[in-house]
Amino acid sequence: MAVQQRLQKIIAAAGITSRRKAEDLIRQGRVTLNGHPASKLGTSADPAKDKIRVDGVLLRPEKLEYHLVNKPQGVLSSVSDPKGRPVVTDLIRSSRRLYPAGRLDFQSEGLMVLTNDGGLTRKIISSGQIEKQYRVKVRGQPRQEMLQRLRQGGRIGGERFSSCRITLLKKGSNCWYQVALFHGRNRQIRRMFDHIGHPVMRLRRVSIGPILLGDLSPGASRKMTAKEVRLLKTRVERTQRKEEGSRGFVPS
């Protein structure tokens, strides 16, 4: 059965350029489909059967890979660093160009997805409906009214923070919490607890949607199973439709 996709999506998936720049290539007449110019953005093709060329070079779609990584503290969520610090892609052995689908700050640890599936990466990053869960150790014992303020969301330093779920896991001189976010801002959890005077001592992401960290050791990685990839794609597609529906978006 033929699987038809838009040309710009096929070109981006092959790792040549972004989808937006692929659209420019099509408009400029630099793309051919089965020997004929393809200058319309609505043109579709089957990447497994059709011959697509960009500037005369035959397109060979890159095989997609999906990996899970347990990022340790002191590792950047990036593919390179001018200061020479370790980056998360160093933890995976692959001949493909893999990119992190989202970020964890330098001192945080836990689950990350790395892939060369650019479409999935963009959807994970941009979606505000994919829940991510974290185990968080904070200094001291925040009062319930403080936690309730954080749960409700609000502004911190002029930036709007969305609501979240916070559940006590272990009470002590320094408490552990489970924090669930849908659309987290940069360093949101750290900034939230700093705001109420109980800074984060340790932060570990344990799930991204239906994908769980499980018993993956710090610094270790593994390929995602076919079932995990399917579950994640299904969740992403479902949340995208929900978001488009809430905005009154009607597909063309």
Q: What is the mean pLDDT of residues 2-14?
A: 81
Q: DSSP letters along 22-48, please?
A: HHHHHHTT-EEETTEE---TT-EE-TT
Strand residues in 14-142 grouped as ranges (E): 31-33, 36-37, 44-45, 52-54, 57-58, 66-71, 99-100, 109-115, 132-138
Per-residue pLDDT at 176 exceeds 90: yes
CA distance 224 to 18: 24
Q: Which residue ranges make up each domain of the chain? A: 5-58, 66-128+211-246, 132-208
Looking at 3.30.70.141, 3.30.2350.10, 3.40.250.10, 3.40.50.300, the CATH number of the domain 132-208 comes to: 3.30.2350.10
| Fold (CATH) for 5-58 | 3.10.290
**Average predicted confidence (pLDDT) for the chain:** 89
Residue 46 falls in the annotated catalytic set: no
Least confident of 2-11, 203-212, 237-246: 237-246
124 confidence band (pLDDT: 50, 70, 90): confident
pLDDT at 244: 62
Per-residue pLDDT at 252 exceeds 50: no
HSE, side-chain direction, 13 A CA sphere, residue 240: 16
Q: How far is CA 207 from CA 40, 51, 68, 181, 249, in A?
A: 40, 40, 11, 11, 29
Catalytic site residue from 50, 90, 105, 194: 105
Per-residue pLDDT at 204 exceeds 60: yes
pLDDT 10s digits, 217-251: 999 999 999 999 999 999 988 877 766 665 554 44
Taking CA 193 as the corner, what is the angle to CA 201 and CA 88, rounded to the nearest 5 degrees? 55
The closest alpha carbon to 128, from 80, 184, 200, belongs to 184
pLDDT at 248: 55
Per-residue pLDDT at 1 exceeds 70: no
Q: How far is CA 216 from CA 57, 69, 74, 179, 191, in A?
A: 41, 8, 18, 20, 27
The closest alpha carbon to 134, from 160, 158, 156, 102, belongs to 102
Per-residue pLDDT at 2 exceeds 60: no
Per-residue pLDDT at 62 exceeds 70: yes
pLDDT at 96: 82
pLDDT 10s digits, 17-42: 888 899 999 999 999 999 999 988 88
Looking at 3.30.70.580, 3.20.20.80, 3.30.70.100, 3.40.50.720, the CATH number of the domain 66-128+211-246 comes to: 3.30.70.580
pLDDT 10s digits, 135-166: 999 999 999 999 999 999 988 888 888 899 99
Would you say the pTM of this structure is higher than 0.75? Answer: yes
pLDDT at 221: 97
φ and ψ of 75, to 5 deg? -125, 135
pLDDT 10s digits, 74-123: 999 999 999 999 999 999 988 888 999 999 999 999 999 999 888 788 88
